[in-house]
Structure 1
Amino acid sequence: MKDGYLVDTPAPGVYRPVDSSSDVPFSKFYKPNELPPKIELSDDIIQAYGRAMHSLGRLDGFWTEIENPETVFGLFVYKEAEQSSQVEGTRVTVSDMYKEGEDSKDVREARNYASALKQAAKQLSKTGRFRGNLSNELLKDLHRELMEKGRTDEEDPLPGEFRPGYAWIDESTGIGTRVRFVPPKAEIAASRMENFEEYMQSEGAYPNLIDIGILHYQIETIHPFVDGNGRVGRLLIVLLLMASDILLHPLFYLSSYIRRNRDEYTDRLLAVSEEGEWNEWLLFFLTGIKEQANEAFSRAKLLLYLREQYQEKYIDARPSVKSLLEKIFTEPVFTVNRASEMIDMSYPAANQAISILEDDGVLRERTQKERYREFQADEVLDALNKDADEIPSPHAITQ
């Protein structure tokens, strides 16, 4: 934190002294201003905005043109959950989330994240995709879903409740930790969240993606919960894209970009608070939107091309095989019992379909056990897990 209590304008807030009776390892906290901030958008931001919107438009348009997009976008929810959990320092993978019997804290957190995103997206689609349907109560519901039985270092993360006391963010010094940033004290945080909700539900003062970048900065700066603030903030990005009528489905995962650029991400947020560097933060944010929209588009093309290849190869296959081939794009790891449920057929029918696809190399048994066998679709998982620079271009995929 900067020395002194006042931050030079145009920073969107000031430092204030902590209460004298508080027993905390810092002397001041940050008090952000209410939204909206005054920002003079640079030409670079205007251009970056156009590029990001173009990439998102291409992604959303692609999904509206294909049959049964839900057979693929479910994987993208799990991809976002995986990447968001890895931002927090875990090593959870999509395969781990599907594995029966896996119940570590890290895996529970990732599953909770996927469940929260799917439920919120479903609710938003049902009530109407506009910002007025987003609220602090929804954020609390998301937090409750994330934190109950999930991964947390806090003894009691108060699921679904705003924090009652101070919070602070540490950073490593190499020989220990130090306090890097202190969000507003509880009563100010609660007041700012009321303003946050009001602005989130409004038409906003800036174009949609700029508003989303501003809202993400604000909720991370307010830090309204004891734990899980980053996860809630990243979830909200996807929901805001849907509520702003930019995306129809939750098939976007900015967490991957944040994970790859974690240090710059935290530096950019702090630079807004201390230096008023809005344009630098927004350029970083919009660049991430564009990159991840392009990556999601290429990954979706690869998955759908793979599905089409399977459909063509197994056009004359028995119904159980064709049905299971569709389901592996929403659930690529499963047991025979689970496969029976997925295709709504008997255990013998599911087992026979698995045997056919295993013989052809589409499925692989991964436990090496005679009982409680578990199978996975390697090509599907490979397409989902490829690094961004390993994904073929959309043009190359169809050649």
Structure 2
Amino acid sequence: MAQVPFTPENLPLGNDRLNQLMFLHELIEANKKVAQYQVLLQNTKLPSHLLLNPVMLNEAVQSTKIEGTQVTLDEVLEVEAHSRKNNKDVQEVLNYYHALRDGMDRLSILPISTRLFKEMHITLMSNNVRGSNRSPGEYRTIQNFIGPEGCTIETATYIPPQPHLVNSYMNNLEIYINNPQDDLDELVRIAIIHAQFETIHPFLDGNGRIGRILIPLYLYSKKVIDYPNFFLSEALERDKHKYYRYLNDTRYKGDWNQWVLFFLEAIILQADKNIRLINEINKLYDHDLDVAQSLINSSGVKKLIDAVFQKPIFTVHTISSTADISEATCRRYLSILEANRIIFSDGKQRFKTYYYYNLLDKLR
């Protein structure tokens, strides 16, 4: 399809590029669903920050899955609990997780900008993962291309802009992010911003992952969401061939309407799943906390259950540290919970690993 590097148009898009009537219904529905999710989070029984760790790790799993990394959430949580040896695939997921957290933290002092992108990219490419030798934290200075494994530039499905144009296009994108000069809804803007980032493809590797991290960071920076915890990778991975095709259609057909429609449908799909998840977790938290408190007469039980929701795969050491309870007390509480099938273990005599399947089954 593509034989020469693509030349994108600068943002904002021309008035003729979007017909908002084509996705007006989906835009209204997407905003309603995101708002509903935010209200649920504000009123959840479980302190919402406790769920952030496993939900963010699941986002990292889904986003790296789009790039071909085959790792499960359980495997990542086992490595985090120090009960499984690390490997490069798991490290890619953990790098994504840390890049996401770094981006959240840096937003308090940095706008969404080249500096932020490059800092997150350094984290993403650290610890000797694939691509770690491909100029971490630097925009590319050589031509790259995208296509099926083993393709050449002649058979690529997409050839991004020439390297000497990357800084100029990224500067335009940065200006648009922070001062858009159009009257579009923020959900439409982030659809355009994500597509433009992927079109510029500023890094030699990791563009898809940084571009997907950009989605919750942007929505948070514009106060659409109260915390940068609305992730789209799972919905996009579910329809990844549509995702790539509609991205390419914005480039070679100028079809932005279909792309925005697809993006809004992904938001609706993910918001519905998030809403179901929060409602189910609220019920689970109430039920299992009540059961645990009926089995163990101690004020420390709530701290333990809160910690288990934060780290649903754990060892005595990792959970006692998270819950701020002594290991001896923790071990006694866990023995009672395991005997009553609230949690399960691998049965090892030493360095036993525990699994809170009630939550894992909902997160997977």
TM-score after normalising by structure 2: 0.92
The residue aligned with 1:391 is none
Change (3 A) 1:360 1:247: same
CA distance in 2, matches of 1:150, 1:321: 40
Cα offset for 1:208?
A: 0.6
**In the alignment, residue 160 of structure 1 is paired with which amino acid?**
G
The residue aligned with 1:280 is 258
**In the alignment, residue 136 of structure 1 is paired with which amino acid?**
T
Q: Which moved more, 1:140-149 or 1:336-345?
A: 336-345
CA distance in 1, matches of 2:156, 2:282: 47
The residue aligned with 2:64 is 85
**In the alignment, residue 143 of structure 2 is paired with which amino acid?**
Y
Residue 282 of structure 2, aligned match among 282, 304, 310: 304
**In the alignment, residue 29 of structure 1 is paired with which amino acid?**
P
SS, match of residue 334 in structure 1 = strand
**In the alignment, residue 157 of structure 1 is paired with which amino acid?**
R
CA distance in 1, matches of 2:150, 2:65: 21
**In the alignment, residue 345 of structure 1 is paired with which amino acid?**
I
The residue aligned with 1:378 is 357
Cα offset for 1:172?
A: 5.4
CA distance in 2, matches of 1:237, 1:253: 7
Change (3 A) 1:109 1:172: closer
Q: Deviations over 1:359-378 (max 9, x none)?
A: 11111112x42211111101
Is the aligned partner of 1:222 residue 2:205? no
The residue aligned with 1:63 is 41
Is the aligned partner of 1:33 residue 2:16? no
CA distance in 2, matches of 1:281, 1:94: 29
Change (3 A) 1:173 1:228: closer
**In the alignment, residue 374 of structure 1 is paired with which amino acid?**
T
**In the alignment, residue 92 of structure 2 is paired with which amino acid?**
E
**In the alignment, residue 244 of structure 1 is paired with which amino acid?**
K
Alignment of 1:193-212 (within 5 A): 193-205=170-182, 206-212=184-190
The residue aligned with 1:190 is 167
Q: Deviations over 1:284-308 (max 9, x none)?
A: 0010011101111111211121011
Alignment of 1:158-169 (within 5 A): 158-169=135-146
CA distance in 2, matches of 1:295, 1:61: 15
The residue aligned with 2:87 is 104
TM-score after normalising by structure 1: 0.84
CA distance in 1, matches of 2:25, 2:222: 20
The residue aligned with 1:133 is 111
* Alpha carbons 2:63, 2:209 under 8 Å: kept: yes
CA distance in 2, matches of 1:148, 1:173: 25
- Residue correspondences, number: 354
SS, match of residue 178 in structure 1 = coil
The residue aligned with 1:114 is 97
Unaligned runs of 5+ in 1: 3-26, 386-399
Change (3 A) 1:369 1:155: same
CA distance in 2, matches of 1:102, 1:80: 21
CA distance in 2, matches of 1:343, 1:261: 39
Q: Deviations over 1:61-101 (max 9, x none)?
A: 11112352112233221121111111111221222222124
CA distance in 2, matches of 1:338, 1:309: 24
Cα offset for 1:31?
A: 1.3
CA distance in 2, matches of 1:82, 1:110: 6
The residue aligned with 1:351 is 331
Aligned residues: percent identity? 29
Is the aligned partner of 1:251 residue 2:229? yes
CA distance in 1, matches of 2:292, 2:193: 48
Residue 291 of structure 1, aligned match among 260, 269, 277: 269
SS, match of residue 369 in structure 1 = coil
Cα offset for 1:333?
A: 0.8
* Alpha carbons 2:188, 2:260 under 8 Å: kept: yes
Change (3 A) 1:112 1:50: same
The residue aligned with 2:320 is 340
Q: Deviations over 1:251-283 (max 9, x none)?
A: 322111111111111100111101110101100
Quick one: higher RCO (CA 8 Å, sep 6+), 1 or 2? 2
The residue aligned with 1:237 is 215
